[in-house]
Amino acid sequence: MTPILRVRALLKHFVVHNVDGRTVEGLCGVDLDVHAGEHVALAGSSGAGKSSLLKCVYRTYLATAGSIELQVSSGNVVDITTLTDREMVLLRGRELGYVSQFLRAEPRRTPMEIVSHAAVFRGIDASDAPEAAAAALTRLQLDESLWDVYASVLSGGEKQRVNLAAGTVAPPRLLLLDEPVSALDPANRDAALAMIEDLTGLGVAVLAVFHDIDAMSRLATTVALMDAGRVVRTGPPSAVLPELTGVAR
Amino acid sequence: MTNPTDEPDPVPPVDLVDHVLRVNGLGKLFGKLTGAAIEGTGPERGTAKHAATNTVVAAWDVSFDVSPGEAIGLIGESGSGKSTVMRCLAGDLEPTCGVATMRRRDGSIADLFEMTAAERRALRVSDLSIVYQDPAEGLDLSITAGGNIAEPLAAVGFRHFGEIRERAASLLERTEVPIGRMDDLVREFSGGMRQRVQLAKALANQPVFVLFDEPTTGLDASVAAGVLDLIRDLLDELGIAAVVVSHDFGVIDMLTTRCLVMHHGRVVEQGLTDQLFEDPIHPYSQRLVAAARA
């Protein structure tokens, strides 16, 4: 079966012109597949390249070399590294979801507006978007009294739930998660993890970074261990996670 | 307008299937166009002015396109050439070379640099609007807010006084100008309120394309934030294609999905707006982002 995401020989170098033109190597040849309904958790120490990989797939970072192939809804396979910017904008809307650790709260927008807007971007009819947004916010247990206040005044955990709701309001084909529950208390964390679990069950391909092993063992079908910009080992959580203890968290 | 003989590439056939605006090889020089002037200017030379010939290469080889409902940013410091590009598209400056085509609402293609003055005025009334940094450029300050908006409405055939007033009132309401001030002279308005009147006028005839030139520069921070919110909401709601020119990364970040970085008259980098902010590649873009984050 063709994977939803196929990453091959991916390199990401940063040339820092304003310091001394030095080159920082972020990714040094990543190979990775994610299939429909599969949840691949990226593990490894800080600086191993986990977030850089997610950002290259979303093209917030430009890959230096290699390929990032995505099988889109039509069945065609596109290489994210060669799409035009305009094609990438459209692809983000239809096929990709990205949830970062921090909500870059758009100024003066409410959770309801942020999540409705995300729903419309995903192709939900504008008249149906508020209902879809309400369902997503309810699912993540964001108190209804907060739906119409500016997101910038919310707590870290509340923002994170708005962020997750916006990223999942209409399930994308590939969901990229970068520490999406790091600021949540146990009850809210549980609701968020259950929601992510359900998405995988619906066939969404998930590529995620969690800093805690519990979340990985609960959600992941595969763990990919990264070190120094490469995937050094992949396997089922039961095989890979025990190796992490003490090695890389 | 024809391309000068020493311009490198012939302009490819225009394909506007998915574009509202396509700009190809736009250049604007003050002084003589020579190979030496082009060679001797740009980011690598650190200047837009060719000292030997006194030629200023204000913009060179600028190409981009804008899709329906899409807002594109043009960012750079003063002197980068971004306003020159804007003014050429607006018809306020005559470009030295290049082609810019726009698909009008009726589906016809307008060749912006080949139009007569009359054709251009007609285009500005019906399909293309400009919101200037200085409201005095887009408005007549000596007449009322309602009168300013009536002008483009009358130009497209609104005849009945009541109809014009009703439409003007609804536009002012949408841009959050108190209706009670409709009959006040624009000169008596604050800077932020003038900008809202300018927005109402720009939207009067439902343009397919709007150019925003530093739309919030010069306003107090809190007033600028309100105007910025309004522009963002209008772009979302009306699905207008737009080019936003600004030196302010905050404005570009909030309003656009793609942008071009200009420096010494050239485009040094273009990309998705979030990518340019998180992973700027060109040395100048890196400096710009570092300054914005400081």
- CA dist B57 and B100 (Å) reads 19
Secondary structure of B163-195 as H, E, C letters = HHHHHHHHHHHHCCCCHHHCCCEHHHCCHHHHH
Domains of chain A: 1-95+172-243 (3.40.50.300), 102-170 (no CATH)
CB A138 within 8 A of CB A111: no
- CA dist A140 and B21 (Å) reads 41
ipTM of the complex in this document: 0.91
- Looking at domain B16-119+258-294, which CATH architecture does it have? 3-Layer(aba) Sandwich (3.40)
The pLDDT, as a whole number, for residue B14 is 44
A-chain residue closest to B273, CA distance: A60
Q: Tens digits of per-residue pLDDT, B28-69?
A: 999 999 999 999 999 999 999 999 999 999 999 999 999 988
- CA dist B202 and B227 (Å) reads 14
A-chain residue closest to B289, CA distance: A18
CB A223 within 8 A of CB A230: no
The pLDDT, as a whole number, for residue B9 is 42
Residues of B with CB under 8 A from a CB of A: 65, 67, 70, 225, 229, 236, 254, 257-258, 270-272, 274-275, 278-279, 281-283, 286-287, 290
Q: How many CB atoms lie within 10 A of CB A116?
A: 25
Q: Give average pLDDT by consecutive 10-residue segment, chain A, 249 residues.
A: 95 90 93 97 94 97 98 94 94 89 79 94 92 96 95 91 92 94 92 94 95 92 96 94 66
A-chain residue closest to B71, CA distance: A86
Tell whether A126 is within 8 A of chain B (Cβ).
no
Q: Is residue A55 helix, strand or coil?
A: helix
The pLDDT, as a whole number, for residue A75 is 92
Q: Is residue A27 helix, strand or coil?
A: strand
Positive or negative torsion for Cα A138, A140, A141, A145: negative
Backbone angles phi, psi at B218, to 5 degrees: 95, -10
Positive or negative torsion for Cα B256, B257, B262, B267: negative
Q: How many CB atoms lie within 10 A of CB B234?
A: 18
Which residues of chain B neighbour A107 with C-beta distances below 8 Å?
Answer: 225, 229, 254
- State the distance between the two ends of chain B, measured CA to CA, in whole angstroms: 44
Residue from the list A55, A60, A85 with its beta carbon closest to the beta carbon of B258: A85
| Geometric angle at alpha carbon A87, from A86 and A92, rounded to 5° | 100
- CA dist B142 and B188 (Å) reads 9
Tell whether A13 is within 8 A of chain B (Cβ).
no
Ranges under pLDDT 70 in chain B: 1-17
Which residues of chain A neighbour B17 with C-beta distances below 8 Å?
Answer: none
A86 contacts B70? CB cut-off 8 A: yes
Residue from the list A61, A88, A106 with its beta carbon closest to the beta carbon of B278: A61
- State the distance between the two ends of chain A, measured CA to CA, in whole angstroms: 32
Q: Which of A208, A84, A187 is nearest to A140 (CA)?
A: A187
Residue from the list B272, B286, B290 with its beta carbon closest to the beta carbon of A85: B272
Tell whether A89 is within 8 A of chain B (Cβ).
yes
If residue A90 lies in a helix (H) or strand (E), which one and from where to where?
Answer: helix A85-94
Positive or negative torsion for Cα A43, A45, A46, A49: negative
Q: Which of B238, B235, B282, B234 is nearest to B256 (CA)?
A: B235
The pLDDT, as a whole number, for residue A245 is 66
B286 contacts A60? CB cut-off 8 A: no
Place of tokens 């910025």: B228
